[in-house]
Structure 1
Amino acid sequence: MIPARPLPFLTPRNVPMQNIGARIRTWREERNLSREDLAEQAGLSVSFLAALEDDGLLPALGPLHKVARALGVRLGTFMDDQVTREPVVTRASEHTGDLTIGRARDADPALRYTALARGKSDRAMEPFFMEVEPGAAEQTSSHQGEEFLYVLEGAARLEYGRQSHILRAGDSIYYNSVVPHAVRAEGGPARLLAVVYFPT
């Protein structure tokens, strides 16, 4: 079997994996966009982008998707180190929480995402392993596309518009992500498989 070769120059180089704000800044500067330009194109405030790039703010996926669309890249680009068009395998030992969003009341991470297709350059979906801690104050998100959640362990509550759905281990839900939504743990930590489709 021939090993997959990375495709060079598709992602910013020399930017640490955990620093998504630095990656966004690199992509913005490569396109000769000011923060004001990117904020206008993404429909976000300049202060929000400053907090994202400089202070390490990690918002819900909706605003990150708006930034990605304005830059002309996939959301997963902010988490990719090297890219390939070959199949991508993510081992269980690699579930390290690439992206942490929100904080629980005791200051522990509230929501951790591990990208499961990191590096797959031609993907149309963003599959994630999610760990949701109780007490999370996740922001409600709304963006174009669709999402699928499957609960692996524990229980989770999906707030979807005016509806609320409690999902237990083995349950799944598929929904239109234009409707405002948020995922929270229900009664204890929850682990989920999430697949997000963002139209290009």
Structure 2
Amino acid sequence: MDTALAQIGPRLRAARRDRGWTLDDLAARAGMSASTLSRLESGKRQASLALLLPLTRHLGMRIDDLLPTPPSDPRVRRAVQRRDGMVIAPLTLEHSAVQTFKITYPATDAAPAARTHEGYEWLYVLSGRVRLALAGHEHIIERGEAAEFDTRMPHSISATNDGPAEVLSIFSASGERIHTHVGPGEGTVSA
């Protein structure tokens, strides 16, 4: 039996039980015998529209709700952003609760101006060295090291002057909006 069709019975049973109904309760409402409903739920009877329509109507669901949703494409296909010498590559789907990016920072002599905003950030240095200015203190984060901080503290992140740095950055939703979105005229987006 097709695996999608095999899931109709168990999903029908789960919907009935979620409402606290017995086989007799739902069968009576749908105008069929409890035996027919039992065989549908156990997969011993072939599902047909004539049987499913009254059942789903009384359960307050669509027939589609009885079928599995095909898995979505898990690959992340979001555009890489280039801004102020940084390359920002998204590593999570756009609507993920937590956003992760691989950010390449260009070498620089000085830290950019510190900012504050709502959120949290976690970073891991893949290569190079990162200058994390945090609440008036400068920390050098080396390859293989990680840092976590509340972004309500004044902070800035940059590579040191000895070369670029690649970082995995994980942001809460509010932190991601501040750090990675390109406003009009602030940079270019490329594939």
The TM-score normalised by the length of structure 1 is 0.46
Higher relative contact order (CA closer than 8 Å, sequence separation 6+): 2
Question: Quick check: which one's helix share is greater?
Answer: 2
Q: Which has the larger radius of gyration?
A: 2
The TM-score normalised by the length of structure 2 is 0.47
